[in-house]
Chains A and B, each alone.
Chain A
Amino acid sequence: MTEEMTSKADRISTPVNIVVAGAGITGIRTAIDFAASGYKVLLVDKAMHGGGILTRLDHQFPNDHCGMCRMLPMIDRGTDKETCLRRGLFHENILTCYSTEVVAVDGKAGDLAVNLSVVPTGVDKTRCSGCGECERVCPVMVPDHFNGDWVNRKAIFLPTPHLSPDSRVIDWQACTSCGACVEVCPTHAITLNGEREQVELKGVYAVVLARGVNLYDPALTDVYGYGVLPNVVTATDFERIMSSSGPYQGEMMRPSDGKPIKKIAWIQCVGSRNVMIGADFCSSVCCMFAVKEAILAKQKMGKESDAVIFYMDMRTFGRDFQRYKDEAENVKGIRFVRMRVHSIQLHENTDDLLISYVNKDGEQVDEIFDLVVLSTGRKKDFLTCDWAEADGVFQVDRLPGFKDIADSVVGASAISEQVLRMIHQQNLKPDKNESDHSPDISFVERRPSYITVLCDCNTSLSNPIDFQKLENTIHALSSGHQILRVEQACSKEGWQTIRKAIMDGQANRCLIMACDAAVDFSRKREFTNELGFPVSFVDLLDVVSLVRRFQEGEDATDTVSKEVFMRLNRLGTRSYASPLKQAQVKTVLVIGGGPAGLQAASVLAAHGFTVKLVEKTDRLGGKLAQIEESDLKQHVEKMLAGVNKNPQIDVYLETEVIQTSGRPGVCMTKLKHASGETRIIHHGATILATGGKEVDTSASVVSESHERIITGFDMDAMLKANDSDLVKGPVSTVVMIQCVGSRQEPNNYCSRICCLKSLKNAIRIKDLHPETDIYIFYRDIMTYGNSEILYTEARKKGVLFIPFDTDNPPRINMASGAIIIEGDDPFLGEPVQIKADWLALATGVMPNDVSDLKQVFSFETTQDGFIQEADSKWRPVDTERVGVFVCGLARTPARLDEVLLEANAAAQRVLTLLEKDHTSYSPVTARVRNAICSVCGICIEVCPYQARYMDEDRRVVHVDNLACQGCGTCAAECPNNATVLGEYEDHGVMSMIESSL
């Protein structure tokens, strides 16, 4: 067994509580959830890197930026490296292991044996300095699949461009074992043995299966020429074309001939919504994905460019998506053509691509494009494995679809909650770190005594640096400095030498001059814990990167000396304050007694929390009566009964929240009953589940009421009542109109449920009365995911669908007492006129009014009154206010199953906050020097995390140390320097700057 493999197996066999299989976005989310609660997590992936599909994307809709890092813990920030997640996931409780598969899971939940099959990377991370020499000398070139096979890569390479440089791996299929890399590696980090190794873990509590989806291979669709026509690419390929880390460095040039791209077509639904290939589903994300790509591409292509999206229905079903699409169309000039493209042809003898289609006037049009992007959805078949159904395995998606980031993150946290519930119910504990490592105060408070460790990296640094001269300069700084020369700080021996020198020499400030590999994140933690150092008393100077700037033969000593000076000066000014520990109140306030609130309350009670459930009306259950799905209805009814009986849940009906104070973990809130009586409750966190309601916008299309013009909700209710006219029949003709008052200003969002409701109503009517004619006027049918089958079923049953545009909606004529709907059939270009027995208007939903609560909790709301989450992609159930969470219709229109999932996810976020008895905060937080603070309040306004508040009685500004993320905005804005940021106080930073001059 090689050294490398020993080390990898060793690393894995440290205690593991939970194994997460699949390191895409859902896997990462659950891993962080468990890690934040103190559990040891092993995160594995079959691929050579983590991050899944997202590693290929630089931007996400609808905000066009990344922000993956926002998933990292915001409390206990010292536990992770706080670095870009695309560089890697570094958390003290998470071990990541790629090219690794779970092959078997045996035993019972809470005590599992998990077998892993590990392919070594070939590169020992603990030794690799990330210098890249190996890649430079590697003689093997293979197509770089990550970048659409347009460029080549080496056999030893970085699997994704943003990864930290010590993450190089060997592609064993490409490697010829020539040994060039082994020879050149200065730290002997490479071993050419790619044999799989089996590792067995015992005593694992649970395994999370986050398998994700594979993308459809468009080469299977012969008419689009993917794989034959070089300028036909997939949407993920196109991300690489646009990326500055992609094959063309972000230049918009096309693969065949490098011609600048000026005109692009997107073709939607490739591999989706196609019964001929068994894909009777919608892949949910491709519409928004295409809009985003079109916007970014248009920006990059500049003037005189054209971006066209060929689509059937633009599925903008997220809360903010319709406005995003409208802006793309009306402001950014993206063209949307409602037409499924038949085929792509080469234009004459060029590489240009010809698409023929029929325009709105029914005329055949030919257009020439530089590039065609296929919006490929998910594969029909899901990835599966033998152990998926084993006891103790939690599947993130039993029926996985292709989900956007927000839905993935919600689904992931919902699973984390279930796993932790099992763990809590079995009373299993996290594998704690050996001890609670608070630094030894007497030791750290002593005068600074320095040790500088100089690694010459096997003499490879001795050329650019004159070590004797460097030592002399350091000694000249002050004679008390200890200096230790080591050959390889990264090796085990080097590491032990350093440790011993520090112990013996009694230094309490340490500067290590080596490379990133020498002191990786976990080693630095281990080091400071063992030696009783605060993390901030150890500094690492990555001298390898520093020296790389110099040409061969140049002397880098002066530059390095200066840098060493700066660092030592900075270390001298560091001070240490023991973190405040705060006991937490294990009670949760849940506002709203509808399905979301009931779910959150029940779940939290099951974890042992006390729940205060506050409901404005005189009963719990919310819109229970309207729930269609019988299984979900039963579930909510069961919860309702359970909540009323549960001694851990106190229900306050006809009660509102009128005031709150405190900080995450310790809050005090005043409730007011309808009778006027008030009471104060203590709690650690809050979940806003204030729900929503149907919005009756019928008036926007009908001037007067008519007993047979009803809403979709009414029709649903009628169809449930056995004695209603609709059920009894006969019914000759039913017409439905979608998006009444929705998806246009002022309610410019999709309500998500109206299409499903209309389809279900239509199918039910057809089942009752097959002879009834049903016509549905629609803009875009929003049957995302697997609900597409409802749309297909309705059509099969003979429901006729008639699309319309907002500028030409169907008109309702009641002049003769009859209901006559007039519109246009765009397919035929003919007017239609239908006499209806019943007209159902698909009205949407809106959030309940939360303006009072907004005052109390100071969260933000969207222009439509939904509660604004902290980040719509990465932190969908958090509000900007730490400790206050949101779920359900209060945040976004959603189906009931989605609402319930959000409630679980919100409960999980509460767990992360309150699971530990105490909480401590990061040293990098802001502090106010009250003596010189003028209480102007600017800092409160500018704080992006709402971490500051004014104590009006004492006229002082407080910082909530848990909410504060150490961004420094307040310190920069403060007019009298009254705000200081921990570890970045002025005198320390100034002294560092001075020493560099």
Chain B
Amino acid sequence: MGTDTETKRKQSAVKEKAPLRPVESPMDICLGCGTCSAGCAMTGVDGFDPRKIVRKVLMGRDAELVGSKLPWICTMCGKCEHACPMGINIVNMIRTLRGMVDRDKVPGMIQKGVELCLETGNNLGLPAEDFTFIIEDVAAEMAEEPGFEGFTVPIDKKGANLLHTLHNKLVNTQNEDLVHWWKIFHMAGEDFTIPSENWEGVNWGLFSGDDESMKIVVGRIVEHMDRLEIKNLMYPE
């Protein structure tokens, strides 16, 4: 560190890409006050410090950040920017940095989930028939309980009131959470439905900084709603 080329500022790509919060707040406006660092739960973990990241962005050191582990330490909780007196959109900045990382360098689990989702319609890569089997099985079990006799889950019901996406975790391991939702729907007399394909209710492109994949995943849900003529969406992440 210390040669003049390294200190030399460049027009920051991160700055240009990060969308704005309600006030006009590119990173440039940073006071260096340290509010973000003081409030961050991850400050000090493997050299993470939000102020340092903002500072490096200010200096145009995008490449250094993109090549490091730092962007992946952030939990994206937003505590930093909640108190930032300059309204700097730190979480978005981090996300934009993640988006600048080559996809094969994105931490494995997240990237794999994104890829499987694009490919199969859910982060687990669960085939459609397996999905339908699980749903019907869980619903049948619920129907054995008193008060829920005859309960079935409407799949791809045209003209339903509510479209319900699912977190893959609920389908995979935590089936009982599905039951909680359905019981509420049942008691409330809600006219809901679940898509048979592309039912994934999380969008890991948010975390990997992958705008394209995010768009595709969101687009699928919009498509469901058009096709099934449904006006309301419940997206329980």
List A residues at the B interface (Cβ < 8 Å).
223, 269, 273-276, 312, 338-343, 355-358, 362-364, 733, 773, 792, 795-798, 800-801, 803, 820, 822, 825, 827-828, 830-835
| A358 vs B59: C-alpha distance when bound (angstroms) | 21
Question: How far apart are B4's CB and chain A's nearest CB, in angstroms?
Answer: 4
Within 8 Å CB of B32, what residues of A? 801, 803, 827
Asked whether B85 lies within 8 Å of A795 as measured between CB atoms, the reply is: no
| A143 vs B230: C-alpha distance when bound (angstroms) | 57
Over the window 64-89 of chain B, the binary record of Cβ atoms lying under 8 Å from chain A Cβ atoms (1 yes, 0 no) is 00000000000000011011111100
Asked whether A276 lies within 8 Å of B37 as measured between CB atoms, the reply is: no
* Given A773-B8, A795-B28, A827:B55 Cβ within 8 A: yes
- Residue of B1, B25, B33, B51 near A830 (CB, 8 A) is B1
Question: How far apart are A358's CB and chain B's nearest CB, in angstroms?
Answer: 4
Within 8 Å CB of A312, what residues of B? 31, 33
Question: Which residues B34-76 have CB closer than 8 A to chain A?
Answer: 34-39, 43-44, 49, 51-52, 55-56, 58-59
- Residue of B29, B35, B38, B82 near A796 (CB, 8 A) is B29
B9 on the interface (CB 8 Å rule)? Answer: yes
Within 8 Å CB of B85, what residues of A? 269, 273-276, 340
Asked whether A832 lies within 8 Å of B2 as measured between CB atoms, the reply is: yes
Question: For residue A799, which residue of chain B has the nearest CB?
Answer: B28
Within 8 Å CB of A828, what residues of B? 52, 55-56
| A364 vs B37: C-alpha distance when bound (angstroms) | 8
Asked whether A773 lies within 8 Å of B44 as measured between CB atoms, the reply is: no
| A795 vs B56: C-alpha distance when bound (angstroms) | 15
Within 8 Å CB of B209, what residues of A? none
Within 8 Å CB of B173, what residues of A? none
Within 8 Å CB of B59, what residues of A? 800
Asked whether B86 lies within 8 Å of A275 as measured between CB atoms, the reply is: yes
| A476 vs B214: C-alpha distance when bound (angstroms) | 107
Within 8 Å CB of A773, what residues of B? 8-9
Within 8 Å CB of A825, what residues of B? 55
| New A-B contacts (14) at CB < 8 Å, excluding given A273-B31, A828-B55 | A274-B86, A275-B87, A339-B38, A340-B31, A340-B85, A357-B37, A358-B38, A773-B9, A795-B31, A798-B28, A800-B59, A832-B7, A833-B7, A835-B4
| A340 vs B36: C-alpha distance when bound (angstroms) | 9
| A223 vs B78: C-alpha distance when bound (angstroms) | 13
Asked whether A342 lies within 8 Å of B7 as measured between CB atoms, the reply is: no
Question: How far apart are A376's CB and chain B's nearest CB, in angstroms?
Answer: 14
| A257 vs B93: C-alpha distance when bound (angstroms) | 44
- Residue of A269, A340, A800, A834 near B58 (CB, 8 A) is A800
Contact count band on B: 35 or more
| A355 vs B38: C-alpha distance when bound (angstroms) | 9
- What are 6 pairs between A and B in contact, CB < 8 Å? A269-B85, A275-B23, A276-B23, A795-B29, A800-B9, A833-B2
Q: Count the A-B residue pairs with Cβ separation under 8 angstroms: how many? A: 105
Within 8 Å CB of B31, what residues of A? 273, 312, 340, 795
B118 on the interface (CB 8 Å rule)? Answer: no
* Given A340-B34, A800-B9, A276:B52 Cβ within 8 A: no
- Residue of A342, A733, A832, A833 near B83 (CB, 8 A) is A342
Asked whether A358 lies within 8 Å of B87 as measured between CB atoms, the reply is: no
| A800 vs B38: C-alpha distance when bound (angstroms) | 22
Asked whether B38 lies within 8 Å of A341 as measured between CB atoms, the reply is: yes
B26 on the interface (CB 8 Å rule)? Answer: yes
Within 8 Å CB of B28, what residues of A? 795-798
Asked whether A792 lies within 8 Å of B58 as measured between CB atoms, the reply is: no
Within 8 Å CB of A364, what residues of B? 37-38, 43-44
Asked whether B39 lies within 8 Å of A342 as measured between CB atoms, the reply is: yes
| A597 vs B124: C-alpha distance when bound (angstroms) | 82
Question: For residue B52, which residue of chain A has the nearest CB?
Answer: A828
- Residue of A276, A343, A803, A831 near B84 (CB, 8 A) is A276
| A847 vs B34: C-alpha distance when bound (angstroms) | 38
Question: How far apart are A773's CB and chain B's nearest CB, in angstroms?
Answer: 5
Asked whether A343 lies within 8 Å of B43 as measured between CB atoms, the reply is: no
Question: How far apart are A648's CB and chain B's nearest CB, in angstroms?
Answer: 51
- Residue of A275, A363, A792, A831 near B44 (CB, 8 A) is A363
* Given A273-B85, A339-B38, A358:B33 Cβ within 8 A: no
Within 8 Å CB of B87, what residues of A? 275-276
Question: How far apart are A369's CB and chain B's nearest CB, in angstroms?
Answer: 14
Kindly list the 8 A-B residue pairs having the minimum CB-CB distance in the complex, ordered from nearest. Answer: A342-B39, A340-B33, A274-B85, A342-B38, A835-B4, A339-B34, A358-B37, A357-B38
Within 8 Å CB of B83, what residues of A? 223, 342-343
By CB atoms of chain A within 10 A, which of B25, B34, B35, B37 has the most?
B34
By CB atoms of chain A within 10 A, which of B30, B39, B84, B87 has the most?
B39
Within 8 Å CB of B30, what residues of A? 795
Asked whether A340 lies within 8 Å of B35 as measured between CB atoms, the reply is: yes
Within 8 Å CB of A796, what residues of B? 26, 28-29
Within 8 Å CB of B23, what residues of A? 275-276
| A369 vs B35: C-alpha distance when bound (angstroms) | 18
Within 8 Å CB of B39, what residues of A? 223, 342-343, 356
| A833 vs B8: C-alpha distance when bound (angstroms) | 9
- Residue of B9, B51, B86 near A827 (CB, 8 A) is B51
Question: How far apart are B180's CB and chain A's nearest CB, in angstroms?
Answer: 32
Within 8 Å CB of B3, what residues of A? 833
Asked whether B34 lies within 8 Å of A357 as measured between CB atoms, the reply is: yes
| A797 vs B28: C-alpha distance when bound (angstroms) | 7
Within 8 Å CB of A276, what residues of B? 23, 84-87
Question: How far apart are B7's CB and chain A's nearest CB, in angstroms?
Answer: 5
Question: For residue A337, which residue of chain B has the nearest CB?
Answer: B34
Question: How far apart are B194's CB and chain A's nearest CB, in angstroms?
Answer: 39
| A342 vs B52: C-alpha distance when bound (angstroms) | 16
Within 8 Å CB of A801, what residues of B? 32
| A792 vs B25: C-alpha distance when bound (angstroms) | 11
| A834 vs B49: C-alpha distance when bound (angstroms) | 24
Within 8 Å CB of A833, what residues of B? 2-4, 7
| A798 vs B27: C-alpha distance when bound (angstroms) | 9
Asked whether B29 lies within 8 Å of A275 as measured between CB atoms, the reply is: yes
Question: How far apart are A266's CB and chain B's nearest CB, in angstroms?
Answer: 15
Question: For residue B58, which residue of chain A has the nearest CB?
Answer: A800
Question: For residue B44, which residue of chain A has the nearest CB?
Answer: A364
| A832 vs B9: C-alpha distance when bound (angstroms) | 12
* Given A357-B34, A358-B49, A800-B9, A223:B82 Cβ within 8 A: yes
| A835 vs B2: C-alpha distance when bound (angstroms) | 11
Question: For residue A822, which residue of chain B has the nearest CB?
Answer: B2
| A825 vs B8: C-alpha distance when bound (angstroms) | 14
Question: How far apart are B85's CB and chain A's nearest CB, in angstroms?
Answer: 4
| A275 vs B7: C-alpha distance when bound (angstroms) | 28
| A796 vs B20: C-alpha distance when bound (angstroms) | 14
- Residue of A340, A798, A827, A835 near B38 (CB, 8 A) is A340
| A834 vs B1: C-alpha distance when bound (angstroms) | 12
Question: For residue B80, which residue of chain A has the nearest CB?
Answer: A342
Question: For residue B49, which residue of chain A has the nearest CB?
Answer: A362
Question: How far apart are B25's CB and chain A's nearest CB, in angstroms?
Answer: 8
Question: How far apart are B132's CB and chain A's nearest CB, in angstroms?
Answer: 47
Question: For residue A363, which residue of chain B has the nearest CB?
Answer: B44
Within 8 Å CB of A830, what residues of B? 1-2
Question: For residue A774, which residue of chain B has the nearest CB?
Answer: B9
Question: How far apart are A309's CB and chain B's nearest CB, in angstroms?
Answer: 14
| A223 vs B51: C-alpha distance when bound (angstroms) | 19
| A826 vs B7: C-alpha distance when bound (angstroms) | 14
By CB atoms of chain A within 10 A, which of B7, B80, B84 has the most?
B7
Within 8 Å CB of A342, what residues of B? 35-36, 38-39, 79-80, 83
| A343 vs B40: C-alpha distance when bound (angstroms) | 11
| A453 vs B150: C-alpha distance when bound (angstroms) | 104
Within 8 Å CB of A356, what residues of B? 38-39
Question: For residue A802, which residue of chain B has the nearest CB?
Answer: B32
| A800 vs B59: C-alpha distance when bound (angstroms) | 8
| A358 vs B23: C-alpha distance when bound (angstroms) | 26
Question: For residue A830, which residue of chain B has the nearest CB?
Answer: B1
Asked whether B86 lies within 8 Å of A358 as measured between CB atoms, the reply is: no
Asked whether A827 lies within 8 Å of B52 as measured between CB atoms, the reply is: yes
| A276 vs B59: C-alpha distance when bound (angstroms) | 24
